[in-house]
Structure 1
Amino acid sequence: MSDMQDTMLLGLEGIKKTILHGGTGEIPKCISGSKVTFHFRTQLCDDERTVIDDSKVVGTPMEIVIGNMFKMDIWETLLSSLRIGEVAEFWCDIIHTGIYPLVSKSMRRIAEGKDPVDWQIHTCGMANMFAYHSLGYDDLDELMKEPKPLYFVLELLRVQQPSEYNRETWAMNDEERLKVVPVLHGQGNKLYKQGNYDEATQKYKEAIICIKNVQTKVIKQVV
């Protein structure tokens, strides 16, 4: 067991990895477009190891698509060091955790059945990071005002390559989103003509969300 408790550095400043439970097989290839499914727990570096978020408590594992502009890009690096079934604890310094309160808010809104895009559209990019606004959660407000190192406990469940799953619109990059808009619009028109109004509305909504996601990124880049 002692070798599994050894702390390893990933060759990156401000990160230490400790394996809590060994995984199986080779480390899967995490390429752009790979869908990674994992459980995560985020804890403060205090005596109590206070838990901020825990996907197992929510009951649903997290899914991210590599290279898809997920704000917490350091997680892509951490997950790329894991084998399937491996559980590891990563100590991450402030340089990697400053954006976590914003990411956590988005994930909590999804868990509560709210639209995570809703609040992003109205923010002014990185400028919002430095002007204090309540995130609607006291613990995240505290972390926003005073960033701290955090522990991320990650358990890798599955890695699917781009050819192994149907990419939903949220998992697409900007170019793919813009290409799919006319397709969704056409599908919506066809369903509307057939009298399937609810399904047609869903296609139109999906197309609008694609456009909004691309607009949001463009606005942030301009600001």
Structure 2
Amino acid sequence: MSPPKQHECSKDCNNIPLVPTTSDSNDKRPVPVSDDRLLNEYQAGTLPPSVSKQVLRPGGLKLKPTYVRGTRIFFHFETVDTETGRVYDDTRTHPKPMELIFGKKFKIPIWELALHTMREGELSAFQVPSEMCLSYPTVAKVIRESNQPGEKPRPRSCCCSQLANGNVTGVTGHEDLDTFQQNPRDLTFTFEMLEVNLPGQYDMEACYMTDQEKATSIPILKAEGNCLILKQQFTEAVAKYEEAGSRLEHLLLKERPGTAEYQNLTSQKVPILLNLAHALLKNKDFYDALRRCDAALEIEPDNVKGLFRRGLAHKGVGSFEEARKDFQQALSLDSTLKKAVKEQMGDLATLEETHNKKLRNTLKNLF
């Protein structure tokens, strides 16, 4: 069975800040448990003593699973007030299950720790003290708003921008969550582990990757695009090259222009852009191909492959004179292109004559 589609809100939740606590000595709210303490529990493979687990339905594996960093899981959850039984959220009413990747610092650390103890197919309930639930309202806000009927998934900036700075108390827009922020409660989280994908069994999305993982994936995506070109699967190749370029841009944003690393990353853009232009030309998407060639030639103005492919793009959009200039410049840099350029010049002459003839006939019929 193919894995469920990715749930947008789980990515957004990775960027939500924890609910800040006030320094007022009269504040009776519980003090949040540090991520470091939970990390130590996680590494030990145990739950904190204050968290209790009840298995409602065992999973399919007899042995306790070992989930390495990067393991992806799909799951449903229900959140209930432990004392009153009030239900806050239940994702079984949502169109998609939740998704989480172990080791990517989900903003409710106890969730990752609890899910780490479960098997595929298992249904279990975890009673969690309030001090480990303080970030629940902000996470729940994103989950709810990402699953409103008729609503398209919101960009993470829309969901999280108001939570990025300052005190977030009382800004969720949901009365029950705002009340919880003012008076945190012990919660019971019931999880149903639907599916487990180990690293290598799925394509990890860039938003979950470390910078090193992104850097490693770029040449792999480029090679996959090249293979698709050989198979004449040009649309699929475009997707591979575009994803490689997107990940490269994310890395560039973190480097200072002019540094050696910035120059190294920039130089990697050129072959990706030109391979992308080639795939776009094969799909007759000439304007987009022209844009990619322009971007590559801005980095390397004398790139012969870039000039020749931009000439093809200009020819495709009917800019015949611009095409001639590109072909001639490419030939001046590489004399081995003499035959190819001669053929293109002949095509340009034929196309231009046909174009001019149609134009003359059109003008003639106007009078």
- Candidates 162, 171, 178, aligned match of 1:134: 171
| Matched residue, 2:74 | 37
How far is 1:116 from its partner?
A: 5.3
Q: Secondary structure at the match of 1:128?
A: coil
- Candidates 163, 186, 190, aligned match of 1:123: 163
> What CA deviation, in whole Å up to 9, does each residue of 1:78-122 have, x standing for no partner?
011112211111000012101000111121222233325123245
Does the CA-based 8 Å contact 2:137-2:178 persist in structure 1?
Answer: yes
2:294 aligned with 1:195: no
Q: Percent identity?
A: 28
Does the CA-based 8 Å contact 1:14-1:95 persist in structure 2?
Answer: no
Does the CA-based 8 Å contact 1:23-1:83 persist in structure 2?
Answer: yes
| Matched residue, 1:67 | 103
> What CA deviation, in whole Å up to 9, does each residue of 1:194-215 have, x standing for no partner?
53889xxxxxxxxxxxxxxxxx
Distance 2:181 2:155 in 1: 18
Distance 1:98 1:78 in 2: 16
How far is 1:173 from its partner?
A: 2.8
- Candidates 220, 245, 249, aligned match of 1:183: 245
Cα distance 1:189–1:70, how it changes in 2: closer, same or farther (>3 A)?
A: same
How far is 1:63 from its partner?
A: 0.7
| Matched residue, 2:193 | 156
How far is 1:171 from its partner?
A: 2.4
Q: Decide which structure has greater helix share.
A: 2
Does the CA-based 8 Å contact 2:79-2:90 persist in structure 1?
Answer: yes
How far is 1:11 from its partner?
A: 4.3
Does the CA-based 8 Å contact 1:107-1:116 persist in structure 2?
Answer: no
Does the CA-based 8 Å contact 2:72-2:198 persist in structure 1?
Answer: yes
Higher relative contact order (CA 8 A, sep 6+): 1
Q: TM-score, normalised by structure 2?
A: 0.45
Distance 2:111 2:192 in 1: 12
Distance 1:27 1:166 in 2: 25
Which runs of no fewer than 5 residues in structure 2 stay unpaired?
A: 1-45, 219-242, 250-271, 289-367
Does the CA-based 8 Å contact 2:137-2:177 persist in structure 1?
Answer: yes
| Matched residue, 2:130 | 94
How far is 1:42 from its partner?
A: 0.6
Cα distance 1:104–1:178, how it changes in 2: closer, same or farther (>3 A)?
A: farther
Cα distance 1:38–1:73, how it changes in 2: closer, same or farther (>3 A)?
A: same
- Candidates 103, 107, 113, aligned match of 2:139: 103
How far is 1:54 from its partner?
A: 0.7
2:203 aligned with 1:166: yes
Cα distance 1:128–1:195, how it changes in 2: closer, same or farther (>3 A)?
A: farther
| Matched residue, 2:265 | none
How far is 1:176 from its partner?
A: 3.8
Which runs of no fewer than 5 residues in structure 1 stay unpaired?
A: 1-9, 199-223
How far is 1:175 from its partner?
A: 4.5
> What CA deviation, in whole Å up to 9, does each residue of 1:153-173 have, x standing for no partner?
011112111100011123223
Does the CA-based 8 Å contact 2:83-2:186 persist in structure 1?
Answer: no
| Matched residue, 1:114 | 153
| Matched residue, 1:145 | 182
Does the CA-based 8 Å contact 2:53-2:124 persist in structure 1?
Answer: yes
2:120 aligned with 1:58: no
Q: Decide which structure has greater strand share.
A: 1
The structure having more radius of gyration, on CA atoms, is 2
**Aligned positions, number:** 185
Residues 6-25 of structure 1: pairs in structure 2 closer than 5 A: 10-25=46-61
User: Aligned letter for 1:41?
Assistant: E
Does the CA-based 8 Å contact 1:106-1:116 persist in structure 2?
Answer: no
Distance 1:196 1:92 in 2: 58
> What CA deviation, in whole Å up to 9, does each residue of 1:54-90 have, x standing for no partner?
1111132111011112111211110111122111110
| Matched residue, 2:323 | none
